[in-house]
Structure 1
Amino acid sequence: MGVFVETRPTPSFGVLLVNLGTPKAPTAAAVREYLAEFLWDKRVVDVPRPLWWLILHGVILRFRPGRVAKGYASVWTDEGSPLMAISRQQQAALQQLLGPDVPVSLAMTYGEPTMEQAGLELRRAGVEKMLVLPLFPQNSSSTTAAVHDRLAKGLSRCPHLPEMRWVSHYHDHPLYIKALANSVREYWAEHGQGDRLMMSFHGIPQRYEDRGDPYPGQCRATAAALAAELELSEEQWICSFQSRFGREEWVKPYTDHTLEAWGKQGLQRVDVISPAFAADCLETLEELEEENRDNFKNAGGGDYHYIPCLNTRSDHIELLAELVRQHTQGW
């Protein structure tokens, strides 16, 4: 009698979710390893390499990892960094919604899981066509384009290239705006509404926008669409930019300066949301929720409320599933 071997059908396509990355542990050594890869990317810092190597290895990687590690330690969870834990949960939720016939893998631009690890996972599942879905609603050279570069580097050693499609952005997708608005309304229903809503996005140097990076414009469009969905007047909201690095001018207005100004004006309450992040991370949980809270209150402001990222909300996962459906038509 012959042996029956069950064969699984080849999937029509697979999905590669990609987020930025995170250190393996909240330690100076792990942060140094992560920052060495992250800050060496020309998409992130485009200073000439010889000069930047001296600055990076002679100054930044000597002193910054210890300070950053303390920030990570303050937000670390039993499952690891919030970004990694939430990204894994998003991967599982999207997999459940799409069903077993559409493999979903997770990769990080920097750190692990690497593009090679995630790609091998999809290849072993029989994937011949791959949709790349960076978890960056707004398209920037320092995020979405960096995903492209890193994936291309990984594929340069691959003997079998899959057919690929990309989701370059979803900053104005109706389901994305609706999910953001739902999260704000639900927060307000439970905690009340502040005097102003700050929509704080991760910043980039002003010269990046000057040479054509679409990111700041897409951030402003997201903020305007969310304000319209919430029916806010112009005086009730602002689009600002956080996380500056170095001394050059970055896209304005700055989140921390704005909060300090509002505090000095005696604003009674501000609500803050960060639509550029698909998952809560160091920049939201430590910088926005802790550091900028102190900036606002120390300057004389009243109550400060941080509204969490979309994370694993069901309407967020449905948005991701809809992006997959829209971008895989014909597959």
Structure 2
Amino acid sequence: MAEATFGVLLANLGTPDAPTPAAVRRYLAEFLWDRRVIDVSRPVWWMILNGIVLRTRPKKVAEAYASVWEEEGSPLLAIGRRQQRALKARLDTHFDADIPVELAMTYGRPTMEAAGLTFRKAGVERILVLPLYPQYSRTTTAPVFDRLADALAPCPHLPELRMVRDYHEEPGYIDALAASVREHWEARGRQNHLLMSYHGIPKRYANEGDPYPKHCTRTSHLLAERLGLRDDQWTMTYQSRFGREEWLKPYTDETLTAWGKAGHDGVDVICPAFAADCLETLEEISIQNREFFQDNGGGDYSYIPALNDREDHIALLEQLVVRHTTGW
């Protein structure tokens, strides 16, 4: 194999090291202190975060993590490692070279510093940063850039960097989503309605210019079109809101509760914004929201897994790398 001329940094949000209150508290303290995520005045937010949030939420969140924890660790990390290995295998074959591919989290471990050190030892001086967020948001993609900049701050020899900002309307991404839905329908049967649930952000962030809801809407329409769905056969909602501020609507939990009360026969749920299954899909969507729907009178409820390390998903990531490393 030829010598690599670049490396690829896969980036995702992060995860606690263990499903324990102490580990969750450390993780939430880092995550929720990021100004990109919560932009409340620092003194005010410090008191709320340390006086209320980190005293009340870790135990409950740790219990949720424990319900989905795997032998290899959190689902997000375990799947991320599989994605890392699968992408490297495809890139090595495509370029006929040993292409370093590292996984790093914006919060928690593995860290950006650890990935950078591995690249440095491999002699890599060009890095493509690939955040695993199809839709751009100031709360997810932008912090990857911030965190990487912090990690590189002490480095006297900066690498050349390129970054994939988003891929919300990439044909390969839409094709993979559509294939996952069709395969799920073939294996589990098709419900009467498809709900596309995206992680929410405060409505104010969108009003200030975050393109995230536009990206989500574009993805949803493209997926519905690819599946041949009429407008009355699918709905787009937002999940995982935090705090009292108004977030993007309609809310997933309120929608499913209302549908249950209305006696809807069944629903399939997919979360297109998540490149890997995690707490927000496996526990919040597959467990909590199932209960909101069925406990209120709804019928069958089926969660369609994230793209994870599906072959067509990894092929899409490969395509993004090949395109964005042109000339390297």
Would the aligned equivalents of 1:172 and 1:221 in 2 still touch at CA under 8 Å? yes
CA distances 1:287-322 after superposition (whole Å, capped 9, x unpaired): 000000000001110000000000010000000000
Equivalence map 1:245-284=2 (5 Å): 245-284=242-281
Give unmatched runs, 5+ long, in structure 1: 1-7
The answer to whether structure 1 residue 241 and structure 2 residue 227 are counterparts is: no
State how far apart, in whole Å, the 2-side matches of 1:103 and 1:77 are: 26
Identify the range of structure 1 (256-265 vs 310-319) with the bigger mean alpha-carbon deviation: 256-265
Contact 1:10 1:126 in 2 (8 A): no
The aligned counterpart of 1:67 is 60
Size of the aligned set, in residue pairs, is: 324
Which residue in the other structure is 1:47 paired with?
40
Asked whether the 8 Å contact 1:10–1:127 carries over to 2, the reply is no
Out of 176, 179, 196, the residue aligned to residue 176 of structure 2 is 179
Show the counterpart of 1:159.
Answer: 156
1:285 aligns with 2:282: yes
Kindly report the root-mean-square deviation, in angstroms, between the aligned alpha carbons of the 2 structures.
Answer: 0.9
Deviation at 1:153, TM superposition (A): 0.7
Q: State the one-letter code of the partner of 1:119.
A: G
**Post-superposition offset of 1:267:** 0.7
Gapped regions of structure 2 (runs ≥ 5): none
- 1:1-331 maps to which residues of 2 (within 5 A)? 10-99=3-92, 100-331=97-328
Question: Letter of the aligned partner of 2:321 in structure 1?
Answer: V
SS in 2 for 1:232: coil
CA distance in 1, matches of 2:107, 2:89: 26
1:4 maps to which residue?
none
Shift of residue 11 of structure 1?
1.7
Amino acid at match of 1:256: D
* Percentage of identical aligned residues: 63
Per-residue CA shift, 1:228-286, capped at 9, x if unaligned?
Answer: 00000000001110001001110011101111111111110100000000000000000
Once superposed, which parts of structure 1, at least 4 consecutive aligned residues long, lie more than 4 Å away? none
- The Cα offsets for residues 23-77 of structure 1, whole Å up to 9 and x where unpaired, read as 0000000000000000000001000000000000011101100000000000001
1:9 offset after TM fit, Å? 5.8
Q: TM-score, normalised by structure 2?
A: 0.98
Which deviates the most, 93-102 or 55-64? 93-102
What's the CA shift for 1:328?
0.6
User: Does the Cα contact within 8 Å between 1:138 and 1:276 map onto a contact in 2?
Assistant: yes
1:327 CA drift (Å): 0.4
TM norm structure 1: 0.97
In the alignment, the residues of structure 1 paired with residue 211 and residue 121 of structure 2 have an alpha-carbon distance, to the nearest angstrom, of 36
Equivalent position SS for 2:13? strand
